[in-house]
Amino acid sequence: AQSVTQPDIHITVSEGASLELRCNYSYGATPYLFWYVQSPGQGLQLLLKYFSGDTLVQGIKGFEAEFKRSQSSFNLRKPSVHWSDAAEYFCAVGAPGGYNKLIFGAGTRLAVHP
């Protein structure tokens, strides 16, 4: 069965520090992978997605993620975190077809210290 694991429930970083949020997936075929961000009172916003091709994908707000098939991972990174990045981050996997039937991880809550 498909599943997504985000091992870190809570992460705190200092503003300006680098960030890596972990995501591991279980899927029988090449997955479609997504990272979403959810700010309080707002809907989930798509940061980036991987369907195929280059395994390093660039997203909005300076985020990037790397698909590593051998590790079944799709970790999200940002070189320098801003206070406005504090939010909840969700990794998701989708069946072929892309966005339908997304399976989400439990989320990682990011806090940013000034």
Partner 1 sequence: GAVVSQHPSRVICKSGTSVKIECRSLDFQATTMFWYRQFPKQSLMLMATSNEGSKATYEQGVEKDKFLINHASLTLSTLTVTSAHPEDSSFYICSANRQGSDEQFFGPGTRLTVL
Examine residue 1 and tell whether it contacts partner 1 (CB under 8 A).
no
All residues at 6 or more sequence positions from 86 whose CB lies less than 8 Å from its CB, including other chains: 110, 111, 112
Examine residue 33 and tell whether it contacts partner 1 (CB under 8 A).
no
Residue 23 to residue 108: CA distance in whole angstroms: 10
The least distance separating partner 1 from the CB of residue 12, rounded to whole angstroms, comes to 17
The least distance separating partner 1 from the CB of residue 16, rounded to whole angstroms, comes to 28
What would the x/- binding string for partner 1 be over residues 50 to 89, using CB under 8 A? Answer: ----------------------------------------
The least distance separating partner 1 from the CB of residue 109, rounded to whole angstroms, comes to 9
Examine residue 100 and tell whether it contacts partner 1 (CB under 8 A).
yes
Reading the block at residue 32, the tokens are: 């479609």
Residue 84 to residue 111: CA distance in whole angstroms: 10
Residue 81 to residue 113: CA distance in whole angstroms: 10
Residue 68 to residue 88: CA distance in whole angstroms: 23
The least distance separating partner 1 from the CB of residue 80, rounded to whole angstroms, comes to 27
Residues that bind partner 1 (CB under 8 A): 4, 9, 36, 38, 41-46, 90, 97-107
